[in-house]
Amino acid sequence: MEALGALLDGFAVALTLPNLGWALLGVTLGTVVGVLPGIGPALTVALLLPVTFRLDPVGSFIMFAGIYYGGMYGGSTTSILLNTPGESASIITSLEGNKMARRGRGGAALATAAIGSFVAGTLATAALTFVAPLMVDVALRFGPADYFALMVLAFTTVASLLGSSVLRGVTSLLLGLGLGLVGIDLQTGQARYTLGVPEMLDGVNVVIVAVGLFAVGEAFYVASRLRRGDQDVTPIRGGVWMSREDWRRSWRPWLRGSLLGFPLGALPAGGAEIPTFLSYALEKRLSKNRAEFGHGAIEGVAGPEAANNAAAAGVLVPLLTLGLPTSATAAIMLAAFQQFGLQPGPLLFQTSPDLVWGLIASLYIGNAMLLVLNLPLVGLWVRLLFIPRPLLYAGILVFAALGTYSLNNSVIDLITLFVIGFVGFLMRRYAFPVAPAVVGMILGPMAEQQFRRALSISQGDPSVFVREPISAAFLALAFLAIATPLLAPLFRRR
Amino acid sequence: MSQSVPTDTQQSVDAPTRSVGDLLVSLGVLALGGYFAYGAFNISVAQSYSRVGPRFFPFLVAAGLLLCGALLLVQALRGTTALPEEGEDVDLDVPPDYRAVAVIGASLVTYVLLLEPLGFVLASALLFWGVAAAFGSRVWFRDPLVGLVLALIVYLAFTRLLGLRLPAGMLAPLGL
């Protein structure tokens, strides 16, 4: 197999000492930010972009991928042990996980989450290894019209699947698209929406938008609704391991979660949330211990955690082979590629095989490291949950300001950061999901470019988008993604 | 699975109780759409340029925002109120504390004004202190001290190890 040879070359890159160091640093950082409330992998990668500007791209991406995977592992620790509802991707794990912890089975819950994440992550990375080259072959045949239609599909699915109100998702997406318009139009050199500020000619940096919406917006919002009193962390009794019975009940949910998570993550369908929900529902239906659901059923932790991690690997398929980000973290990774002057997509596999295959190989290594980090050392990470919130959020804001300022040493960037941060606060308060804005901002200019390229090839004939079969199919799916949730209530009423 | 699906909005059942905030947000989206439409007219287009020019996407975004703003306005008038986002550190049962938001806002403005005159270390320590206070910390001696030490370590690491430049400000005479 061609892919196996390429993967072996990738291991030769990833197993060098410096790159192993970057992977270890990445997975450790990822676990830390995954455990900590108020900061996640998208924000962390965004904050690290200015720092990694001068580093070697291969090492940087191995670290970013480690942060991305590590965030998934760390997040499960929080949702199992912290007795407060978290963000929606991890809320499922907390349903059963926290109940298990409170019944004194926290160790088993953490173990099935970590081992399930490892199993799913490894299986999904293997799937990525073999699916990616096939996708590259398909993607090489795509023309500008097909790319544009694919991006429209990504827009609609991201806007309708992240968060539960399509209207609010689309509004957030449009805000991101609007921010992406700011600056000089690449084709004609015209300035757009620069407010007469010369610094705006280069456009708004996506790092500033991501850090503003995630870090500053979150700090404003949490401050306005701070949970008072001591942190309600459920202590772990006994060791972090599973009984024979736990293994017997966990292995099928792990496999089913992986099977569900990888393809759904690989579709341009908005990341890990949906497969997590589906896996929970599936395990609940299939379980012989259905009565236990809602009171701490181990299947309800094992399945969703596996689905979560498999979807995270799946998201890398469209990102690497098509240059199409479908989650906030993937959007920031795309920004990182652009910072290094690289464009992810089918050609990247030919021009930078070291980078792509080194990155994929490092995912296997990162998963193994994360299993070690999260089973014996979990007690260490739990202590992070006790950091006083004033110090945590003050630190996050200092790093947000630092990361933004060091982009260009510009106070204008800081002002932009804080204004966008306040918008992020309003979005949280009024139930607008933040991720579509980030995806829209990074993908919008690319979509516009492909759109205009397609039209100039067709001599201005707009029917090109429906005459090309691939493009027409994507557009039809995009229409369904938006129309189904909007029209469904009309049919239900009758 | 009913308990697991988060809902973003809630519909008031009896007489519509309209939330001023939701109304203002929908008007804000409309205003933003209007601004993008107005701006799109001001993008100059070369006469000879016959293909889809730099105005097309701006008009698309403007139209989308105006449509969404109108739909949000209708929702708000019908009494649909947005439910605030949940989170690990968020307690939706307490009344919102807008003073904390104001204190953070003031700390950020101060940071913008003082970063270059005072330098990164002192300005960051002040920001740290302000945000910690907004989050209800009352350990007055600890917060600025932690902020100062953190800022100093970060400053030295960034300027010495990573070769980035940060303003030294008032600490420049100390040779930092």
Q: Give the closest residue to A53 by CA, choosing from B163, B88, B137.
A: B163
User: Is-contact A200 A183, C-beta < 8 A?
Assistant: yes
Mean pLDDT of A274-291: 88
pLDDT at A365: 96
Q: What is the mean pLDDT of chain B?
A: 85
Of A218, A280, A397, the CB nearest to B4: A280
Mean pLDDT of A163-182: 90
- pLDDT per residue over A444-456, tens digit each? 999 999 998 898 8
Give yes or no for residue A271 having a pLDDT over 80. no
Query: Which amino acid does the sequence have at A202?
Result: D
User: Is-contact B55 A452, C-beta < 8 A?
Assistant: no
- pLDDT per residue over A189-202, tens digit each? 888 888 888 888 88
Q: Which residues make Cβ contacts (< 8 Å) with residue B162, sequence separation at least 6?
A: A51, A54
Contact check, Cβ <8 Å, A452/B51: yes
pTM score, whole prediction: 0.89
Local structure of B176: helix, strand or coil: coil
Probe site for chain A from B88, B111, B131 (most A CB atoms < 10 A): B88
Rounded-to-integer distance, Cα A402 and Cα B151, Å:
10
User: Is-contact A113 A370, C-beta < 8 A?
Assistant: no
- Nearest chain B residue (CA) to A407: B164
Cβ neighbours of B96 in A, within 8 Å: 224-225, 429
Q: What is the count of residue pairs from A and B with beta carbons less than 8 Å apart?
A: 259
How many CB atoms neighbour CB A70 within 10 A?
Answer: 30
pLDDT at B6: 47
Cβ neighbours of B36 in A, within 8 Å: 178, 181, 193
Contact check, Cβ <8 Å, B50/A460: yes
Mean pLDDT of A475-486: 82
Rounded-to-integer distance, Cα A452 and Cα A30, Å:
39
- pLDDT per residue over A75-125, tens digit each? 888 888 887 655 556 678 888 888 898 888 889 999 999 999 999 999 999
- pLDDT per residue over B119-135, tens digit each? 999 999 999 999 999 99
Local structure of B11: helix, strand or coil: strand
Give yes or no for residue A1 having a pLDDT over 70. no
Residue A227 C-alpha, separation from nearest chain B C-alpha, in angstroms: 5
- pLDDT per residue over B14-73, tens digit each? 555 678 899 999 999 999 999 999 988 888 776 555 566 788 899 999 999 999 999 999
Token pair for A54: 């001068």
Cβ neighbours of A421 in B, within 8 Å: 108
Cβ neighbours of B159 in A, within 8 Å: none
Q: Tell me the percentage of chain A whose pLDDT exceeds 70.
A: 94
Contact check, Cβ <8 Å, B108/A421: yes
User: Is-contact A283 A303, C-beta < 8 A?
Assistant: yes
Residue B33 CA to chain centroid, in angstroms? 19
User: Is-contact A267 A480, C-beta < 8 A?
Assistant: no
Maximum distance among all Cα pairs of chain B, rounded to whole angstroms: 68
Probe site for chain A from B135, B137, B146, B160 (most A CB atoms < 10 A): B135
- pLDDT per residue over A128-146, tens digit each? 999 999 999 999 999 999 9
Of A178, A218, A402, the CB nearest to B36: A178
Q: Tell me the percentage of chain A whose pLDDT exceeds 90.
A: 52
Cβ neighbours of A159 in B, within 8 Å: none
- Nearest chain B residue (CA) to A424: B85
Give yes or no for residue A426 having a pLDDT over 90. yes
- Nearest chain B residue (CA) to A392: B132
pLDDT at A460: 80
DSSP state for residue A212 in the 8-state scheme: I
Tracing tokens 């980090």 back to the chain, one arrives at: A373
Element at A192 (helix H, strand E): strand A191-192
Of B1, B83, B101, the CB nearest to A425: B101
Residue, of A160 and A414, whose pLDDT is higher: A414
Query: Which amino acid does the sequence have at B97?
Result: D
pLDDT bucket at A66, cuts 50 / 70 / 90: very high
Contact check, Cβ <8 Å, B154/A398: yes
Cβ neighbours of B117 in A, within 8 Å: none
Number of residues that make up chain B: 176
Of A171, A226, A401, the CB nearest to B111: A401
Backbone angles phi, psi at B10, to 5 degrees: -140, 140
How many CB atoms neighbour CB B174 within 10 A?
Answer: 9
pLDDT at B1: 32
Contact check, Cβ <8 Å, A456/B51: yes
Contact check, Cβ <8 Å, B91/A227: yes
Q: What is the mean pLDDT of chain A?
A: 88
Local structure of A376: helix, strand or coil: coil
Cβ neighbours of A170 in B, within 8 Å: 64, 68
Element at B10 (helix H, strand E): strand B9-11
What is the ipTM for the molecules in this complex?
0.90
Residue, of B75 and A38, whose pLDDT is higher: B75
pLDDT bucket at B12, cuts 50 / 70 / 90: low
Number of residues that make up chain A: 494
CA distances from A69 to A37, A45, A245, A390 (A): 17, 12, 28, 27
Rounded-to-integer distance, Cα A254 and Cα A307, Å:
8
Q: Give the closest residue to A432 by CA, choosing from A212, A175, A219.
A: A175
Contact check, Cβ <8 Å, B90/A431: no
User: Is-contact A20 A358, C-beta < 8 A?
Assistant: no
pLDDT at A76: 87
pLDDT at A492: 58
Cβ neighbours of B111 in A, within 8 Å: 401, 414
Mean pLDDT of A158-178: 85
